[in-house]
Amino acid sequence: MRRTRRHRVVRMNLDGTSRGRSDVLAGEEPMELRVDGRAWTVTMRTPGEDFDLALGFLVSEGVVWEADHVAAVGYGPGVNADGTLSYNVVDVRLAAGVAPPDSSHERHVYTSSSCGICGTASIDAVTRASRFPLADDVRVPLAELLAMTERLRERQRLFADTGGVHAAALFRLDDAGRAELVCLREDVGRHNAVDKVVGWALRERGLPLRRCVLQVSGRASFELVQKAHMAGIAVLAAVSAPSAMSVDLATEVGMTLVGFSRGDSANVYAGAERIV
């Protein structure tokens, strides 16, 4: 129920007519992430797959990269005004010997839904090197790549209801280059959708995501490239444009970055050798 909410709106037309109707809105609530009981960051997200979101975020920050690094994950003691559990606090307990996040990288302000790196202590906090080398032998047939956009759109159920969320889909390639959709997540924040995919992969002991393509519904920002890199994803494709900084980062780390991937064409901004 918290993923969407109905709201009464007035539909107004240029011909002077109007009528009331019920509209479906995407849910958006704050989620506080705690590590070993210590508050670390707050992000605005669409409720759902909260544990995956928390784990994916920790992968992106370089805190964990194996499922065994996590001892437990659960909801914290946050409560609503009426005393019921809010389910807006997630506490991740690290396994023995796993270093907690560097306090110098603590996030003291809200992470917004549109820009995941807002509030970081410095740019160094999101450009740390991945522990997973990117696969050089990945080859993606262009036809398979272009088909991912439509396959993503067909599965965007929350977007179909609200028109107000982003999506990230993980496709796994077989030896013949055929792509299988293995995970899709939606959220008001594009970076959250990616974290939810990566967190799922961590729980499934699937990292690094070597023979995979990450397809996202909107633009390709710097942080999406960074998150894909940290998960060992060699190919990131977006429906819309990349930013200049995302292209620079993809080039620097050896990723393939594709933009405007839709219809019968795509722009390859970095790593064109992986697209055949």
* Catalytic site positions: 115
Amino acid at 207: L
Burial of 109 (0-12, 13-18, 19+ CB in 10 A): exposed
CA 133, CA 119: separation in Å to the nearest integer? 28
CA 201, CA 226: separation in Å to the nearest integer? 16
Angle at 238 between CA 233 and CA 243, to 5 degrees: 95
Q: Tokens standing for 222?
A: 């710097």
Shortest CA distance to 31 belongs to which of 56, 6, 51, 4?
A: 51
In this structure, the number of other CB atoms found within 10 A of the CB of residue 169 comes to 26
The answer for residues whose C-beta is within 8 angstroms of residue 97's C-beta and 6 or more apart is none
Helix (H, G, I), strand (E, B) or coil at 104: helix
CA 255, CA 103: separation in Å to the nearest integer? 30
Backbone angles phi, psi at 114, to 5 degrees: -100, -25
Q: Tokens standing for 242?
A: 């990349």
